[in-house]
């Protein structure tokens, strides 16, 4: 039985999630591809199994807005791989029409994911610790007038990551929380967004779209650096950790 590290990636069947899965497999991780689009996930898994072996890639159907699905995701991964070291909360959508759906997936999903990670990976609950990567966005720091609710959801993910990444949690559970905050990337997320936003916006035509592969390397940097509560911004200029301003850190609440 292999004892190599295990990663779960939600929204892992395509786009950035798929690119992260491939980077993890290259680095020797066993990977669970978690996605609500099960047929797409199975096809992607089949392709990766040809390269990395059937024993190193699995699929679990998962609706990230449901606590029961997240628990089952961990249960099935542990049953197959006997450990979980990394959770990438990557599932997300971009729409300013289906607001409840977007907030449920983009914000509630990572909240449930972080709580479930502590439950299964936290040392206080018998786990071995590990790393959680929440996929946020540069929109977690900057305002975009065309997509205010999406911006709100990603600001929430940044706040969630920084709060979970405080010593209060780490002392008990030794789970490191981080956030990946890329600029706009060339994925199907933008195609979907263009169907619901003002046609004049057309995010897919923005200059300097990042490739999923480039952004995925940012996720690997987070895994290598293991800085608790960190938020890594990814742009064409490179990878930059953005910290809370010192003046804000020193405020008395």
183-226 residue pLDDT tens: 988 766 655 554 555 555 555 566 679 999 999 999 999 999 99
Q: How confident is the model at residue 245 (pLDDT cuts 50, 70, 90)?
A: confident
Q: What is the pLDDT of residue 197?
A: 57
For residue 79, is pLDDT > 80?
yes
Q: What is the mean pLDDT of residues 113-125?
A: 98
pLDDT of residue 61: 98
- 3-class SS at 158? helix
Is 29 assigned a catalytic role? Answer: no
Going from the C-alpha of 128 to that of each of 20, 88, 92, 138, 187, the distances in angstroms are 22, 17, 27, 31, 34
Give the pLDDT band (50/70/90) at residue 51: very high
β partners of residue 240: 233
pLDDT of 202 reads 55
Q: Which pLDDT value is given to residue 1?
A: 45
Distance CA 183, CA 233 (A): 8
Q: Are strands 230-235 and 238-241 parallel, antiparallel or unpaired?
A: antiparallel
Q: What is the pLDDT of residue 69?
A: 99
DSSP H or E segment with residue 178: strand 175-182
Return the H-helix or E-strand segment holding 57: strand 57-61
Check whether 23 has a pLDDT greater than 60: yes
What residues have CB less than 8 Å from 55, skipping those under 6 apart? 2, 30
Statement: residue 247 has pLDDT above 80 = no
pLDDT of residue 203: 58
From 29, 70, 120, 150, the catalytic residue: 150
Token pair of 181 as six digits: 């905050």
């Amino acid at each position: 039985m292999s004892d190599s590290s295990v990663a779960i990636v939600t929204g892992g069947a395509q786009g950035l999630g798929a690119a992260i899965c491939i980077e993890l497999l290259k680095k020797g991780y066993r990977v669970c591809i978690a996605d609500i689009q099960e047929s797409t996930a199975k096809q992607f898994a089949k392709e990766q199994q040809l390269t990395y072996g059937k024993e190193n890639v699995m699929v679990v159907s998962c609706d990230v807005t449901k606590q029961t699905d997240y628990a089952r995701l961990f249960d099935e991964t542990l049953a197959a791989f006997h450990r979980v070291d990394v959770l990438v909360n990557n599932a997300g959508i971009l729409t300013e029409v289906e607001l409840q759906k977007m907030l449920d997936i983009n914000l509630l999903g990572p909240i449930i994911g972080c709580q479930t990670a502590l439950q299964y990976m936290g040392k206080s609950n018998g786990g071995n610790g590990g790393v959680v990567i929440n996929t946020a966005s540069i929109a977690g720091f900057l305002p975009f007038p065309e997509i205010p609710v999406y911006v709100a959801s990603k600001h929430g993910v940044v706040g969630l990551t920084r709060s979970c990444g405080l010593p209060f949690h780490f002392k008990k559970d030794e789970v490191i929380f981080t956030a990946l905050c890329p600029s706009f990337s060339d994925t199907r997320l933008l195609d979907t967004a263009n169907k619901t936003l003002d046609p004049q916006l057309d995010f897919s035509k923005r200059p300097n779209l990042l490739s999923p592969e480039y952004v995925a390397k940012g996720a690997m940097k987070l895994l290598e650096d293991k800085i608790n509560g960190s938020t890594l911004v990814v742009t064409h200029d490179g990878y930059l950790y953005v910290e809370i301003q010192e003046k804000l850190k020193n405020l008395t609440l």
